[in-house]
Amino acid sequence: MDIRVWCVRWKAAAALLLCLSLAWVGAAAQVSAPAAPSSAPPQAIAVDAATLKRYVGYYQIGDIQGVMTVAVSGTQLSTQVTGRSPVDLFAQTPTHFFQKGVDATIDFATDGTARATALILHQGGRDITMPRMDAALATRFNAAFAARIKANTPRPGSEAAARDFFARIAKGQPPDYSQMSPELAASSRQVQSDLVEGVQSLGALQSITFQEVDPSGDDVYVCKFLGGSVLLNINMDSKGVITGLVLERTP
Assess if residue 221 is contained within a domain: yes
As a whole number of angstroms, the distance between CA 72 and CA 109 comes to 17
The 8-class DSSP code of residue 172 comes to T
Residues 159 and 121 in one domain: no
Task: Provide the pLDDT for residue 22.
Answer: 30
Show the CA angle centred on residue 21, arms to residues 18 and 22, nearest 5°: 160
Residues spanned by the domain of 111:
49-149
Assess if residue 33 is contained within a domain: no
Of the chain, the end-to-end C-alpha distance in Å amounts to 32
Assess if residue 239 is contained within a domain: yes
pLDDT digit string, tens, across residues 163-210: 999 999 999 889 999 999 887 888 888 888 888 888 899 999 999 999
As for how many domains the chain has, the answer is 2
pLDDT digit string, tens, across residues 130-155: 999 999 999 999 999 999 999 999 99
Task: Provide the pLDDT for residue 126.
Answer: 79
Tell me which of 149, 166, 195 is where a domain ends: 149
> Does pLDDT of 4 surpass 50?
no
Tell me which of 149, 167, 185 is where a domain ends: 149
Instruction: Summarize the chain as % helix, strand, coil (round to 5).
Output: 20, 35, 45
Assess if residue 11 is contained within a domain: no
Residues 135 and 161 in one domain: no
Residues 84 and 166 in one domain: no
Residues 64 and 137 in one domain: yes
Q: Please compute the mean of the pLDDT values over residues 77-92 and round it to a whole number.
A: 92
Q: What is the CATH number of the domain that holds 133?
A: 2.40.128.50
Assess if residue 185 is contained within a domain: yes
The 8-class DSSP code of residue 147 comes to H
